[in-house]
C-alpha cells in the first residue's frame, strides 16, 4: 500500500493510492496517517478496505508529509563510506545518531526555505524507515518486524549551522521545511529488498547524487536494532538512514543552494519529490 496525506497545510487528510495511481480518501477508515494508523491494527484496517469503495480525490491536491506528528524524527550521519570521505571524515564504527526537529517536516513538493544568514544550505537524498510497532531492545533478526514501511526523505542541511555554530548537528538540520517526507509511505510488503533501492537527486536538472542502499554501512535492520538499545521506537517514528555521495559540501569547490534553484529527488519504488528553494 502507498499511504499519503493530502490537502492544505494544517488540514491534510489521509489517503491511499489505488491501482491506477489515483488518490482515494481514507478518512472513513483512519483519521490520520500517524502512529495509530501505522500500527499493525491500523494497517490491517486499511488493508481490509477496498480502495475502489473509497471516495476518489479529484484534481492534483498538495501532498503533505507522508507521516503526521511522529514522536521522533531520527537521522543517521555518515552512513555511506564514500559520503563520509567526501566530507573529510572516516566512516564511523557505530551509527552516528542525531535528531531533526519534527517542525521541520513538510510536504514532498513544498518550497524549502533557506534560513536567514545561511550560505551553506545543502541537499541529502535518503531512505526513511517508518516504525510500525514499539521497538525496545529488539534483536537485529526481528528488527524489520517493527517497521511499517519506507519513505523518501530529503535531509536538508545547513552546513555552517551544523558544524561551526557549536553543540550538536541538530542546529543545521531543523529549520522549517528541512524535512520533506513522501510523496507517500510504502508498506514494507511492497519493497522486495530494502538494501537494494536506487536513490538519486538533481539540482536544476543536473545529477548530483546517485546511490543505492546496498552500500549503506549500517543496514535498515541493524539501525532499528541499534537505536532500540538507546530509546524506545514508537509507531510513526521516522529514521532517515543517511545519504550517498554527491552533496554540495563534497563538491570542489563546495556548492550550496540558492533561492530559485529546484531540487528533484527520488528512490525506486518510493516516488519522487520536487522543491523550489526560497528565502526565509
Query: What H or E segment, with its residue span, contains residue 248?
Result: none
DSSP assignment of 12-48: -EEEEE-TTS-EEE-TTT-S-SSHHHHSHHHHHHHHH
Whose grid coordinates read 483519521? 31
Q: Cα separation of 19 and 272, whole Å?
A: 18
Q: Cα separation of 126 and 29, whole Å?
A: 30
Q: What is the pLDDT of residue 131?
A: 98
Q: Cα separation of 147 and 185, whole Å?
A: 11
260 dihedral zone (left: phi>0; alpha: psi -120 to 50; beta)? left
Q: What is the pLDDT of residue 156?
A: 98
Pairing of strands 2-6, 185-187: antiparallel
Query: In a structure prediction context, what are the per-residue pLDDT tens digits for the chain, which is 280 residues long?
Result: 999 999 999 999 999 999 999 999 999 999 999 999 999 999 999 999 999 999 999 999 999 999 999 999 999 999 998 787 777 778 889 999 999 999 999 999 999 999 999 999 999 999 999 999 999 999 999 999 999 999 999 999 999 999 888 888 999 999 999 999 999 999 999 999 999 999 999 999 999 999 999 999 999 999 999 999 999 999 999 999 999 999 999 999 999 999 999 999 999 999 999 999 999 9
Q: What is the pLDDT of residue 89?
A: 72
Burial of 49 (0-12, 13-18, 19+ CB in 10 A): middle
pTM of full prediction above 0.95: yes
State the span(s) of the chain assigned CATH 3.90.850.10: 73-279
Topology of the domain comprising 73-279: Fumarylacetoacetate hydrolase; domain 2 (3.90.850)
Q: What is the pLDDT of residue 168?
A: 84
Amino acid at each position: 500500500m502507498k499511504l499519503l496525506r493530502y490537502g492544505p497545510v494544517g488540514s491534510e487528510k489521509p489517503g491511499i493510492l489505488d491501482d491506477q495511481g489515483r488518490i482515494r480518501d481514507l478518512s472513513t477508515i483512519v483519521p490520520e496517517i500517524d502512529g495509530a494508523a501505522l500500527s499493525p491494527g491500523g494497517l490491517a484496517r486499511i488493508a481490509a478496505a477496498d480502495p475502489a469503495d473509497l471516495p476518489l480525490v479529484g484534481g492534483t491536491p498538495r501532498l503533505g508529509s507522508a507521516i503526521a506528528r511522529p514522536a521522533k524524527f531520527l537521522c543517521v550521519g555518515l552512513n555511506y563510506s564514500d559520503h563520509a570521505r567526501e566530507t573529510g571524515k572516516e566512516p564511523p564504527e557505530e551509527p552516528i545518531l542525531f535528531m531533526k526537529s519534527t517542525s521541520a517536516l513538510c510536504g514532498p513538493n513544498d518550497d524549502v526555505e533557506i534560513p536567514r544568514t545561511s550560505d551553506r544550505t545543502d541537499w541529502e537524498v535518503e531512505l526513511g524507515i517508518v516504525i510500525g510497532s514499539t521497538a525496545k531492545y529488539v534483536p537485529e533478526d526481528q528488527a524489520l518486524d517493527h517497521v511499517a514501511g519506507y519513505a523518501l526523505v530529503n535531509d536538508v542541511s545547513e552546513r555552517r549551522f551544523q558544524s561551526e555554530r557549536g553543540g550538536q548537528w541538530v542546529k543545521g538540520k531543523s529549520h522549517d521545511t528541512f524535512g520533506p517526507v513522501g510523496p507517500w509511505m510504502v508498506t514494507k510488503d511492497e519493497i522486495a529488498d530494502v538494501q537494494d533501492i536506487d536513490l538519486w537527486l538533481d539540482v536544476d536538472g543536473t545529477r548530483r547524487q546517485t546511490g543505492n542502499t546496498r552500500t549503506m554501512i549500517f543496514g535498515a535492520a541493524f539501525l532499528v536494532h541499534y537505536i532500540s538499545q538507546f530509546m524506545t521506537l514508537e509507531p510513526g517514528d521516522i529514521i532517515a538512514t543517511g545519504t550517498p555521495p554527491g552533496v554540495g559540501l563534497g563538491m570542489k569547490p563546495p556548492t550550496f543552494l540558492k533561492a530559485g534553484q529546484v531540487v528533484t529527488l527520488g528512490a525506486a519504488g518510493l516516488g519522487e519529490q520536487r522543491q523550489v528553494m526560497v528565502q526565509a
